[in-house]
Structure 1
C-alpha cells in the first residue's frame, strides 16, 4: 500500500498515517511562475494499491477548483506509472451541493466532478459526510464509499449534555436523515433517550425563508446537525429559533468547518454555546479569541485510517460505520 497527501492536507495525512502505523510516501510538488503546477510520486507505484488523501476546501490561495485539478493530475500520473489501483480519499469533497437542476439550465456539478475523477482512472472515491449521500453514490460509476461522522460526535454530545434532555435538530428538511442517524447512534451508545426537531428552510438567490419549526426544545440541550458550516447563517438562524423556544444550551455540530466570509457572526454569537467540527479541512486561525475558545475540533484521522486499512485488506466498511456489540 502507498499513501500520499498533497499540499494543504499534510497535517491530516500525517495523522492518518500515524493512526495506521505507516509512513507517508514522498512526493514532489512544483509551482511554475505562471501559476501552473506539477506533482509526482518520488517512489515507484507500479503494481501498488495507492491512496491519495486530499481535501478540496478553498484556502491558502487555492480555490476548490485548483485543489481538484491537482488531485486529478496526481491520480493521472499514478495510473500512467502503473499503479494497480488508485483510491481518492477526499475528506471534504467540494461541488457536491449542486447535485440537481433546480432552475433552468442549472449545472449538475456533482456528476461533472465524478466524470473528471473517473476520466483520469480513479478506481474508488472515499468521501466524508457529503451534502447528499444518495446523490454522491448515484453520480459515480466507479466504486465509492461514503463515511459519516456520527460516531465521532456521539460521545461529545454525551459529554456536553450530561444528564440534561437532548434534542437533535436539523436546520432544514434535507438533513433529517443525517440528524436521525446521529440520534440513533447517541441513544445506542449512551443508553439515553433523545428527541428530534426540524426547521423549514428554503433558499433562492441567496435569500433564506421558511417559518415552520417542528419539535419541543424547551429546557433541553439542542444539537444542531449539518454537514458543513460555511458562512454559518443556517446554524445561526436555527440557534436563534431554539433560544426563542426556551432551549437551555445550543450547540452546532458540523463535519466540515469551512468558516468562509461572514462566519464571524456565528462564531461570536451568544446564541451558540459551542461549535464542534472535525479536522477534515485545514483552516486559517480564527481572528477572535472568543471565537477560538468556542470552537472544538474532533479528529477524523482514525476513521479515515480505519477505512483505508479495510479497503486495502478487503475488510467491511459497513462494520466500521455500524460496529456490532
Structure 2
C-alpha cells in the first residue's frame, strides 16, 4: 500500500467517476516533486457508499487536517453503478454533484483549503434563462461558493465562462486543452494536409473557439479560411429537450475544393449537428474533415460516426480524456483521445504553490511552433 506524502500538505480527493484520470494526475505530481511513484501518493483514501434508498455517503479514511485538498470529479461519467430498490442505476450528473458536496462536507472543515477540479462543468449548457427555468449552473456554483473553505474552482472549456459571475468568494479558472489537442493533431497530419485549412464553427456559439484554432495556425506555410454554420430551428416542437434543427446555412467561402476542414466545438453531444456539417462541407468539395472537441459525450452512441467514417465522409475526431468515454469507443481508429492529465497536474501544482498559471491560460505560440517545425522538417 502506498504512503501519503508527509512533508507536503497537497492532497487529492479522487472520486470513482474520475479514478483513471486521477491516477495519472497523481503520477505526474509525484514526478514534479521527484517522489517515487511506487511508494508514495497524494490521493486520500475515501469510501463512497451508495445506499439502496438512493442516498450517498462519502467517508474519508485518513486525516485531512491542514491540507490543501483538490477534489476531482467527472460529472459526465455514467459508468459508475449502484443499486436502488433492487435495481441497477447508473450515476447521473445530479448524483455526482451531490456526492462532491458530501465529500466536501466529510472533510468537516479540517482541510486548510478546498479546491474543486471539475473538467466537465455541471449543467454547463444551462447557463442562461430564456423562459421560466432555473439557472442551474450558476446556482450550483453559488452553492459551492458559499461552502466553507472553498478556495478555487477549476474547469476546462466551460460552455460559457460568464457563469463565473454567479460567484464572488472563490477563484474560477477556465482552462483550455487547445494545445494538447493540437499537439496530437499536428503530429498526425502531414504537411500536405495542413497547407490549405478552413476552420469551421458548427454554430454561432462555437465561433470563439473556431477563432482560437484559426489563430493557432498563423503561419506563412498555411493558407487559412474561416466559416461558420447558422442553425435554423423548429421552435414549435420540442424533441428530447431540444428544438430540432431543420437546416444548416454555411457562411464563408464556398470554394473549398482541396481544403482540410477543422470543425471545432466544446463538445459533441448526440452528434446530429456535426453530421449535417460534415455533409454540407463535402458538398463544397472539402477533401479532409477533422472534428476537434474537448468532450465527446456520444449520447446516442457512435453507430452514425462509424457509418460516416466507413463512407470516408470524415477523417477523424480529436478529443480529450477529461471526461468519460466508454472503453469500446476508445478502440475506434477514427477517435483520437489526447491525454490531458499532465495539464491538469500542472494547474494543480501551480495553484498549490501560489504560482502563476498565465502561461497555461494564454500560451498560443506553441501550435505555431509545431507547424513551423513540421514544414521545415518535411522541406528537408
Q: TM-score surpassing 0.5?
A: yes
Please state how far the C-alpha of 1:252 moved relative to its aligned partner: 0.9
Among residues 62, 82, 107, which one is paired with 2:91 in the alignment? 62
**SS across alignment from 1:225:** strand
**SS across alignment from 1:94:** coil
- Extract unaligned runs of 5+ from structure 2: 1-9, 31-40, 80-89, 366-380
Whether 1:265 aligns to 2:304 is: yes
- CA 1:108–1:218: 2 relative to 1, 3 Å: farther
Q: In structure 1, how many angstroms separate the alpha carbons of the residues matched to 2:92 and 2:114?
A: 24
Partner of 1:15: 24
Alignment check: 8 A CA contact 1:154 1:186 kept? no
Q: In structure 2, how many angstroms separate the alpha carbons of the residues matched to 1:285 and 1:46?
A: 37
Please state how far the C-alpha of 1:263 moved relative to its aligned partner: 4.2
Moved more, 224-233 or 259-268: 259-268
Q: In structure 1, how many angstroms separate the alpha carbons of the residues matched to 2:186 and 2:224?
A: 11
Whether 1:212 aligns to 2:249 is: yes
Q: In structure 2, how many angstroms separate the alpha carbons of the residues matched to 1:58 and 1:246?
A: 37
Alignment check: 8 A CA contact 1:167 1:223 kept? yes
Please state how far the C-alpha of 1:324 moved relative to its aligned partner: 8.2
Please state how far the C-alpha of 1:50 moved relative to its aligned partner: 0.6
Partner of 2:160: 132
Moved over 6 A (4+): none
Whether 1:146 aligns to 2:174 is: yes
**SS across alignment from 1:52:** strand
Partner of 2:210: 179
Q: What are the Cα deviations for residues 61-114 of structure 1, in whole angstroms up to 9, with x where unaligned?
A: 101100111011111222x24111101000111201011112x21221221121
Partner of 1:73: 102
- CA 1:195–1:41: 2 relative to 1, 3 Å: farther
Please state how far the C-alpha of 1:192 moved relative to its aligned partner: 3.9
Partner of 1:279: 321
Q: In structure 2, how many angstroms separate the alpha carbons of the residues matched to 1:119 and 1:297?
A: 35
Please state how far the C-alpha of 1:58 moved relative to its aligned partner: 4.5
Q: How many residues align?
A: 319
Whether 1:195 aligns to 2:195 is: no
Partner of 1:39: 58
Q: What are the Cα deviations for residues 13-72 of structure 1, in whole angstroms up to 9, with x where unaligned?
A: 011111121532211212223232211222211121110111111412101100111011
**SS across alignment from 2:114:** strand
Partner of 1:117: 144
Please state how far the C-alpha of 1:229 moved relative to its aligned partner: 1.1
Moved more, 55-64 or 9-18: 55-64
Among residues 242, 247, 255, which one is paired with 2:294 in the alignment? 255
Q: In structure 2, how many angstroms separate the alpha carbons of the residues matched to 1:120 and 1:132?
A: 23
**SS across alignment from 1:219:** coil
Alignment check: 8 A CA contact 1:255 1:277 kept? yes
- Extract unaligned runs of 5+ from structure 1: none
Rg: which structure is higher? 2
Q: What are the Cα deviations for residues 223-276 of structure 1, in whole angstroms up to 9, with x where unaligned?
A: 110111111112111111111111101111110111112543134313221111
Question: TM-score, normalised to structure 2's length?
Answer: 0.78
